[in-house]
Amino acid sequence: MPELPEVEVSKMGISPHLLGETVQSVTVRTKKLRWDIPQELELLEGQVIRNISRRAKYLIVQTDIGSTIIHLGMSGSLRVLDADFAPGKHDHVDIKLTNGKVLRYNDPRRFGAWLWCEPNESHQVLSHLGPEPLTDEFNPEYISAKAKGKRVAVKQFIMDNKVVVGVGNIYASESLFSAKIHPLRATGTLLMSEWSCLVTEIKQVLTTAIAQGGTTLKDFSQADGKPGYFAQELKVYGRAGLPCVNCGCDIEELKIGQRNTFFCYKCQK
């Protein structure tokens, strides 16, 4: 599943091709993904793309008459192609531009979403979201206050989008390993020094992933079609039974909140 770095890389990949360009037409080949695709997308014809931003795992394509909100779901990807490039089986939405390019959305599992938001309004999917992890708003004082008295496992806690957005399963495991914190630790037991370390590691792990193009997942490609390379540097995720890069003990695996979790029992306390 594409996580925050993959979505950020998608934004970075498509932005140079779309910003300031005019929409010539919109083609919707599938009426429903996770939700019905809004008819308002047809209104984009003739509109100039003013801005492309990201909030959590949502991409927001802004025009004067409204914004298209895109979620990649489990297997979605965006590509910028020549407009005459023939669509494939799982290519569900095209935004054709007057510059001869097309923004194409591919999603084999159809768990993604295309939504519409009127100007100066906020869509309900963006409400109740926590701070972005790479901003100053996400800091040890903030998260320790949120964690006070809670018994939930710390891995579940940092993956809660109401607490902080975008710390998905892969990066939660990696950040906890780097901070030497066991993923099952009760959230309320962490000391301020541990929160300070974990916040730092979350920011570092995500920043590194973005810089290197996102994690290589079988369902993800950058906008130019090249895979990310951060997966080559994963220290615990997907390495069950392999030696810990720090101590040599076998990496263990368990499920927390129905998600596969990887950790080192010796390094993480």
Q: Which residues are annotated as a binding site for DNA?
A: 90, 109, 150
Catalytic residue from among 34, 185, 259, 266: 259
Bridge partners of 36, per DSSP, are: 32
Active site residue 57: yes
Contact call for residues 3 and 9 (beta carbons, < 8 A): no
> Catalytic residue at 227?
no
Distance (Å, whole) CA 190 – CA 146: 12
Let me know if 50 is a catalytic residue: no
The residue annotated as part of the active site, out of 2, 5, 133, 183, is 2
Q: Could you give the C-alpha distances from 239 to 22, 232, 252, 262, in angstroms and in order?
A: 46, 11, 8, 7
For residue 115, give Cα distances in angstroms to 25, 70, 121, 247.
17, 6, 13, 47
Q: Catalytic site residue 3?
A: yes
Three-state secondary structure call for residue 103: strand
Q: Which of 54, 57, 96, 155 is catalytic?
A: 57
- Rounded to whole angstroms, what are the CA distances from 207 to 35, 125, 135, 246? 31, 25, 11, 22
**Which of 3, 8, 174, 201 is an active site residue?**
3
Positions marked catalytic? 2-3, 57, 259
